[in-house]
Every structure is written in structure tokens, then in C-alpha cells.
Structure 1
Amino acid sequence: MEPKETTSQSDASTSGAAPAPVPAPVLPQDVQHGAGVEAPPTYEEVMGSNQSSVIEGQPELPPLAYIDIMPRFLNAGNMRANIAPVFQKFSDIMQGANLWLQANPGLECWKCETVERKVDKGPYIDLESMKIHKSTYGFNVYVLGLRMWLTRKQNNSPPQQLGLQNVVPATKEVEIQAYQYHDMCHNPQMYYLAQRRVTDVITTFEGLASTIDTLNEDLKKSPLQGSVLNIETANIKYSGFATDRDPEKTSFVELGANRMGMFRRNCQIIRIFYVLGAPKYEEIHMQDIVPEIVRQSGLVGSAVFEPFSGAILKAQMWLQQQSGIKVVNIETRDVRSHENIVKLETTVNSDSTDDFDGSIWSCKYVKMLRIFYVKSPEMTSYASTKLTSRLFPPLRLGVKTFETMSQTMARIAAWHSVTRLPIFGVETVHYPFVDNNNIGFNPERSDYSTSKHTGMTLVTAIRLYFPTFYEEPPRHLLPPTLDWLTQGEGRGTPVCSIL
């Protein structure tokens, strides 16, 4: 009998207890029609807005294909009145993904990603846009969806079905040192303040390393009902000091116009996507590669980090020393860095799952690589793997306009049809928009800063990873590009004339 899909969530705060499973969505093969069993939801009832590079009747699947599935609107709200819409749960998206895989039995998923989109007034989700503008003091609504990277199935096995387990870091209380200032004197001739050192207690979350340790102990008692497809870290965003981190939540609001909107908090959770089947009892691990600091912060300026290509080289050297593991995901993460000008040092805590930012102060982030892997005796060694990557930014068409996701994927397909490189990994990555850069951002810069009282525009790009070195193909074999300053909607393009 084919195992049913299980979708579950665990909270590492229940140390020593197995994760409590969430009821699995009913799949068509589980329904006995006429036996009094409730019929499964229809495709239209489950699937929200979606977009795919898979075209019906296409003679051959592109070497890299995808589908984006967003949660369905349950209540449109009223965004003009600052009332956010309500969306389906994340498990409903997974249910829609499994129905889609059943309807397309010739395809299978080889990676899942949580993707973030901004909700426009309407409400409306633009699945083609390759940029996101985050307003500082506006009413910002964001939605989380699922991106499945697809490949052609090589056999006649039954349709692939996926499960999901969410892992939420446990809460903990920590003491912090603070200062309280009091006006000690009422004498108008004396204006001085006295300070008193106090200890405050705040609630925060366990780090990723301890969360994974607890997860592996739980998996010994309650293993995944299948084999790991890939693992990722995803952000659950909310405002204030609340600790309610619901991994099923697919939307969040940033209210920049009020005090709580100026203070934002992100919690990293772990999502494990797996292919339903017999348990494989896989042990999960993680390796972070943080770019090195080539100059510490000080009076002469902020800290300087090595180029991002340096982190990829370090990941390659680490990978070549590994054996008995299987890499299931490589992802880029933006991690807060903290600079101490007095001590002339900079710290980057990639293990933290509790991140703060806001519109009333500046923050600095560092792009690092995170590698998820499972222990696998089937993989003997990665000694011959020459890990490389290629970033595909959307073509810049104007001052703040870029080509669509479909157009970017078409250029990736054309590039890959020439190189025929084996793909080791793929990810969606965001960069802060830089106006004076030809492509709109600097892909080699490992760090970036946010400015207080200032919004931000992010540009979306696709990064591919390969297990070998490669050379760029001749330009005449690829689709033509343009110089946006002279051929596109650049600053020199005349828009009107005075008679």
C-alpha cells in the first residue's frame, strides 16, 4: 500500500518529545467514492494564483523549469483602508503542489523554496515582477508561497508526492544589561542625571545548531515518512515582542506609520521537504560559510568583507573534504552583523534565529552560504567536485524596470542549452537595488546596509550551482542583450520635446 502524505510541524521547545503530526491532506487515491468519505477538494479550491515555465503540449521540458504556487485569497480585506487580506495556510499550498504533481505525472520536483511576494492593491500578486519595493512608512503586505523546481521524470513510477515538516526554534529567556537614567535632583541650579545599571530579561529563541540537535533526537523517535528532498531556512516575520511564530502563516504586514511598524522581528524556522515513502532515518546537518572580514570596523570606516566569490571558494574546499554525506541544498542567507567601534571588531552570528530591524535605525547585513546535508553512506566523497556558480540577474530595461521572471528563465534556458552543464543546485536570491550599477546591484559585494527612515528596493535573481568549472559561451550563441542607458528606458532616452 502506498504511504499517505504527512504534513507535520515540530517545536524544538518540546525537547525529548516526538513532533506532533498535523493531519495530512486527503489525496484522491485515499478516497473511496460512495463509501461516505468526504470528497477531496477540487484543483480550483486548493490552487491559488500560480505561474509555471511548463507549457502544456511542450515537446521538451526546459533544462530548468519551475512553478510558483501562492496561497489562495480567503478574504480580500481592504488594502486602501489598511485591512490586510487573509490567505490559505502553508499546508494548503503543499496540498495544491501534490495535486499539481498528480496532474503532471511525467514531472518531478527536485527542490522546493519558500518565496516571498508583495501584495499590491486589488489585492493582487504579481508573479512576474523581479523587484520588490519595501516602503518605510507605508502599509506593506507580503505573502509567502512555494516555488518548485522541476525536472522530467526518468521512469514510469507513480506521481511524486511531497511532505513537509516545519521546525520552530524553542523559546528561551536571556538576561541583558541595561541602564536607567533618573533626574536625581529637583534643584533648578543642578541639571545632572544619574544612571543605574539594571538587568532585564527578554524572551528569544534557540540557535540553529541546538535546534538541529533537538530535531535529530526527535527524528530518531519519529522519523520522516520518506526521504529528504531538500531543507531550507525560512523567515517568519512579525512586529513587537510576541513569540507566536506560526509556520503555517503565509502573510504578514509591516505598518511603518505606527510605532510597532518601526520595530520588526524575524524568526528563522527550518522547513524539511521530503518525498513520501519508506523512512530512511536520515540525520540532518548544516554548514555555514561566512565571508571573511578583510578590514575590521573602526574610526576609519565600517568593516569590509571579502567578495562573495570567496565564500563560494571556501564552500568548494569544505565540500571536497566531505564523505558519507549528501548535499540537499545550498542557499544564500542575509545575516545581521554588529560592529563595535570601541573594541574595533565586527561579529556575524549566523546561528541566530532571532533578528531585529526597523525603520528608525540603520542595519548592516552580510550574505553568507548555508549548506544543508544529510548523512548518507551511499555518497562516498565529494573530492572531485569543483563547486562553481553562475548568477542570472534580470535584464535591466530602465532606471527601475527589469525584465520579467519568464524572460529571465528563457535566457537561463538558452544559456544552459549551449553549456549543457550538470546543475548541482539552484536558488532565488535578492539584492538591494543600486542605481549606479549597470545591472542594478553588485553581485560580488558580500554586505549591504539599510538606512533609517528610507525604503528599499530589492532585485530578484536566480543563482545556479555546478559541480564543475565552466566557461562562458560566445555571446553570439546567446539571446541579445541591451544597454539600458542607450537602448532601453535609460536616462538618455527622450520622453518629450519642447517646440
Structure 2
Amino acid sequence: MEPKQTSQPDASTSVAPPAPVLPQGVEAPPSYEEVMGSNQSSVIEGQPEVPPLAYIDIMPRILNAGNMHANIAPVFQKFSDIMQGANLWLQANPGLQCWKCETVERKVDKGPYIDLDSMKIHQSTYGFNVYVLGLRMWLTRKQSNSPPQQLGLKNVVPATKEVELQAYQYGNMFHTPQMHYWTRRRATDIITTFEGLARTIDRLNEDLKKSPLQGSIINIETANIKYSGFTTDRDPEKTSFVELGASRTGLFRRNCQIIRIFYVLGEPKHEEIHMKDVVPDIVRQSGLVGSAVFEPFSASLLKAQMWLQQQSGVKIVNIETRDVRSHENIINLETTVNSDSTDDFDGTFWACKYVKILRIFYVKSPEMPSYASTKLTSRLFPPLRLGIKKFETMSQTMMRIAAWLSVTRLPIFGVETVHYPFIDNDNIGFNPERSDHYTTKHMGRTMVTAIRLYFPTYYEEPPRHLLPPTIDWLTQGEGRGTSICSIL
């Protein structure tokens, strides 16, 4: 399915009816065309039955096209405008309900144009890169004749704080026949950073006691707000950002994690929010022989299952994987992974190591039974690889997911969009079991998008003949242009 951009009707070919007269002081609600940006969905109009799991991506409308060739970025709608479009779409599709929401990131190509179907994205080190944030709604069939859902959103931005950094300034190298050494003096720098996630959630729960959400939570996520330099402007309504490559302001970038709470409008549930991070264990510390080695993703999933089985009186509202910065000290042979941090630095001129953690959001819910019998499992659906750097589209991947769910009929416990760095010598294009990856200085990278489903029970793969056919990209796809190449 090709992504489409909504457009305004042509006034020269049609005559609009007169606008209704509204009471004084009452504003007309926005129309569908005014708030609905480019969008793409796996819901096909007129299909006899909705698949077990579907989705729609809604991007913000372009307000000003800018000039990408002249490094002038386009201007987009606010994130709250996307939510208005989502609610109008739900009203127009009363047989579906939103099960989960995600913030999705797309690259803006020259035009400007947003490719909603691509399952890979190239992050360039140098050049003018524009990214846009949109909304992904995961949809399921509605089981009742209740009115269409209407969603609310609460953004939570970590508070700022000042910290002192101790640094050493080196200079005045002295030379003797016996040794070289540097004299040094200690300096103190004060920078503005942000409070961690744990403290942010504590503040959030205190605020919710005074002003509860007007509805019930369906999903909580951590989303990245990206910007450059030492500014602290982290507007959660902002839907686009620019990376200026090797220019002065693009030498280092900052990512601030904010919390987004999606809820269904209704009576307040007075839900208390909590979070659990599952960090992979280090199986070998960093040192002179090499970097730290972490346990695979499957080990983290098993730890999450063991934690979950000990919980009662809570409701799991989201499971997500997050890439968290890892810091290694080869002198002290220590490796730290601070998953609580909401302030991460990245740059062009140094390498960074990231570790993939599992983050579980849950709310206190006395009505919920124990999870003691829950066997948390997952199934990753990577896009089918068709060539060296060519993959099938999101639409094609969703068709395979729908077919797999129709055969297995498994209850879905969670779903997420996850990104992996492209690895050429891996058969599917990346290693889903590896918990860490690097960014290399002076080099860009290609990220591959996949869909991960979580289930509350063990499962077996269905027979291949019941599923859509797949191909071996080396022999049946584009291959490598030679019959003697192989994947190790």
C-alpha cells in the first residue's frame, strides 16, 4: 500500500455548502482534512474481515515546505494535532479500537516527502538530515457496540537540574630522559541536565493525585526529543528536528527521554504508574582484551518473565525495548548502563556503545489477578530481505504478521516497533539476539525496522505451508551478483 498525503478540495471544481452559524464564543471543530496528515494503514476498505492486528501511521501535516535543497527544514503540525486526526479516524472506523500507541520516527526526503512504507532508514553523519515524529496506532477488532474510542495524551518532561562535572585540563608537557609526563589541574564545570526517569515518575504520580487523568491508560512509552547543544528546550509538541551533520551545531547531539501517556477518555481510574527496567547482565567486563560482552536478548526476556510471574495487583500497559548508553572504564575494568538517565549525548567525532534493555510500564490495579502462570514469550517479525540493502515494505510485513496470527490464534500481550543496526553479513540483515551495538565516528549507519509481538504463553511455529512464502535473498532475490558468495 502506497502512503498517501491528504489534500484540500479544489475550490474551482466544487462549491462548498454554507458554513453553519455557531453560537458566539464557540469555535468550530477542525475538519478531517485540517488535522489529518499523510497516513498509511493495513486496514483495507471493504475487506470482509479485519486481521487480528492492524495499524495506522498518522504523520503531521506540512505547514511550510521549506527548501530542503537550501537546508531550510519544513515546518510540521504539533503532536496534539496528530491526536485530533487519530480521534477523527477512530470515529470514522467504529468497528476498530486502538490497543496501543507508539511515537514513530521517519526521515524526511527532499520534496519534502515522507516514505511511510520503508523498513530501513539511513542516518547520515554529514549533511542535512530532517526527521519527523508521527503516531502509530495498533488496532484490534472491537468486541462490543460501545461508542468509538476517543484518546487523550499526557506528556511528561523531566525537570532540569544542575550538576558539577570534575574534569582535568592537561598542558605544559615536560620532558626528561627518564619519562614523559603531563602536568594537570582540576576544573569544575556546571551543566544543566535532567532528572532521571524514577524521579520523574514519582513527580508524575504526585501530580496525578491532584489532577487525575480523565480516563483509563492504554499505553505508556518513553519517546526521544532530539536537539543540539546545551539548550534545554524540550517541547513535547515538536514533531520534527534537524541534524546538521558536520556543521558547528551538529558536532554533538542530545536525546532527552520524555514520557507519553495515552489513555481512553472516560471516568478517571486514578491509576498509579510504575516502571521496571530489565538490563542484560555483563558476561565479560571491558578490559585490555576487548569491550564488555552482554548476555543475549533472550536472557533479558527470561528475566522479565520471572519478574512478571511474581507480580499481582498490577496491569501491564506496555513492554518496549530501549537503546541505553553504556560507559566503559578500561582502567577500572568497569562498565555501567544507566537506564534511568533521560539525557544522552551522541556525536560525529566519537564512537558510542548502546545496550538494548526491556522496559515494562505498569499501573496498580487491585482487580488484576496474579501473573504467576504467565509465560512471557516474544516473536520478532523482521522485514523479508530482498537484496544487500533492500527489504520488503511495512505493508508486506504486516500481511505476513496477520497470516501468522490467523494460523496460531495466539493472544497478544504486547507489540512494539524496534530498530536494529544493519549488519551485511547476517542473513536477515541484523542480529536480534545481540544486546549491544556501536555507532562509529565519522560514519553513518543504516537502521532496519522490525515488529516484535509479545505473548503470555509458549507457542510453536506453524507449518511453513500454512504461511505466505518467503525467499532466500541470496539465491532467489537480488543476491550479491555472484553464485560463490555466502553468509557466514
Q: TM-score, normalized by length of structure 1?
A: 0.90
Give CA-to-partner distance per residue, 1:3-33, whole Å, 9 cap, x none. xxxxxxxxxxxxxxxxxxxxxxxxxxxx996
In the other structure, the counterpart of 1:242 is: 231
Q: What pairs with 1:255-294 in structure 2 (closer than 5 Å)?
A: 255-294=244-283
How far off is 1:354 after superposition?
0.3
How far off is 1:399 after superposition?
0.6
Q: What pairs with 1:364-375 in structure 2 (closer than 5 Å)?
A: 364-375=353-364
In the other structure, the counterpart of 2:135 is: 146
Give CA-to-partner distance per residue, 1:80-118, whole Å, 9 cap, x none. 111000000000000100111111111110100000000
2:432 to 437, 443, 446: 443
Find runs of 4+ consecutive structure 1 residues off by over 6 angstroms: none
2:56 to 51, 67, 75: 67
Structure 1 pair 63–254 and aligned structure 2 pair: CA distance change class (3 A): same
Structure 1 pair 474–168 and aligned structure 2 pair: CA distance change class (3 A): same
1:404 to 366, 385, 393: 393
**Alignment partners' CA distance in 1, 2:241 and 2:230:** 15
**Alignment partners' CA distance in 1, 2:22 and 2:246:** 55
Contact preservation (8 Å) 1:183, 1:192: no
Matched, 1:90 2:79: yes
Task: State the AA in 2 paired with 1:35.
Answer: P
**Alignment partners' CA distance in 2, 1:464 and 1:349:** 26
In the other structure, the counterpart of 2:113 is: 124
In the other structure, the counterpart of 1:35 is: 23
1:391 to 374, 380, 386: 380
In the other structure, the counterpart of 1:352 is: 341
**SS of 2:108 mapped into structure 1:** strand
1:201 to 177, 181, 190: 190
Give CA-to-partner distance per residue, 1:355-380, whole Å, 9 cap, x none. 00111000000001000000000112
Task: State the AA in 2 paired with 1:476.
Answer: H
**Alignment partners' CA distance in 2, 1:370 and 1:193:** 44
Task: State the AA in 2 paired with 1:289.
Answer: V
**Alignment partners' CA distance in 1, 2:215 and 2:223:** 22
In structure 1, list runs of 5 or more residues that go unmatched: 1-30, 186-190, 495-499
**Alignment partners' CA distance in 2, 1:460 and 1:233:** 18
**Alignment partners' CA distance in 2, 1:184 and 1:383:** 64
Matched, 1:331 2:303: no
**Alignment partners' CA distance in 2, 1:492 and 1:477:** 32
How far off is 1:272 after superposition?
0.3
In the other structure, the counterpart of 2:242 is: 253
- RMSD across aligned positions (CA): 1.5
**SS of 1:98 mapped into structure 2:** helix
**Alignment partners' CA distance in 2, 1:33 and 1:101:** 26
**Alignment partners' CA distance in 2, 1:71 and 1:341:** 45
In the other structure, the counterpart of 1:312 is: 301
**Alignment partners' CA distance in 2, 1:400 and 1:328:** 35
2:413 to 424, 430, 442: 424
Contact preservation (8 Å) 2:246, 2:348: no
Contact preservation (8 Å) 2:387, 2:478: yes
Give CA-to-partner distance per residue, 1:311-355, whole Å, 9 cap, x none. 000000000000000000000000000011001111000000000
How far off is 1:138 after superposition?
1.3
Matched, 1:158 2:147: yes
Identity percentage of aligned residues? 86
In the other structure, the counterpart of 1:219 is: 208
**SS of 2:161 mapped into structure 1:** strand
In the other structure, the counterpart of 2:168 is: 179
Give CA-to-partner distance per residue, 1:27-65, whole Å, 9 cap, x none. xxxx99642432221111110000001111111111110
Task: State the AA in 1 paired with 2:23.
Answer: A
Matched, 1:99 2:52: no
Task: State the AA in 1 paired with 2:109.
Answer: D
Task: State the AA in 1 paired with 2:191.
Answer: I
**Alignment partners' CA distance in 2, 1:70 and 1:444:** 31
In the other structure, the counterpart of 2:157 is: 168
Mean alpha-carbon deviation: is it higher for 475-484 or for 64-73? 475-484
In the other structure, the counterpart of 2:33 is: 44
**SS of 2:397 mapped into structure 1:** helix
1:462 to 451, 467, 474: 451
Task: State the AA in 2 paired with 1:314.
Answer: K
**Alignment partners' CA distance in 2, 1:365 and 1:107:** 37
Structure 1 pair 250–478 and aligned structure 2 pair: CA distance change class (3 A): same
Matched, 1:485 2:474: yes
Give CA-to-partner distance per residue, 1:298-323, whole Å, 9 cap, x none. 01000000110000000000000000
**SS of 2:424 mapped into structure 1:** coil
How far off is 1:289 after superposition?
0.3
**Alignment partners' CA distance in 1, 2:120 and 2:331:** 38
In structure 2, list runs of 5 or more residues that go unmatched: 1-18, 175-179, 484-488
**SS of 1:117 mapped into structure 2:** strand
**Alignment partners' CA distance in 1, 2:404 and 2:144:** 27
In the other structure, the counterpart of 1:25 is: none
**SS of 1:234 mapped into structure 2:** strand
In the other structure, the counterpart of 1:136 is: 125
Contact preservation (8 Å) 1:486, 1:493: no
In the other structure, the counterpart of 1:53 is: 42
**SS of 1:318 mapped into structure 2:** helix
Contact preservation (8 Å) 1:486, 1:492: no
Matched positions, count: 459
**Alignment partners' CA distance in 2, 1:101 and 1:480:** 33
2:66 to 77, 80, 89: 77
Contact preservation (8 Å) 1:325, 1:373: yes
Task: State the AA in 2 paired with 1:205.
Answer: F
Task: State the AA in 2 paired with 1:274.
Answer: Y
**Alignment partners' CA distance in 2, 1:484 and 1:181:** 53
Q: TM-score, normalized by length of structure 2?
A: 0.92
How far off is 1:180 after superposition?
2.4
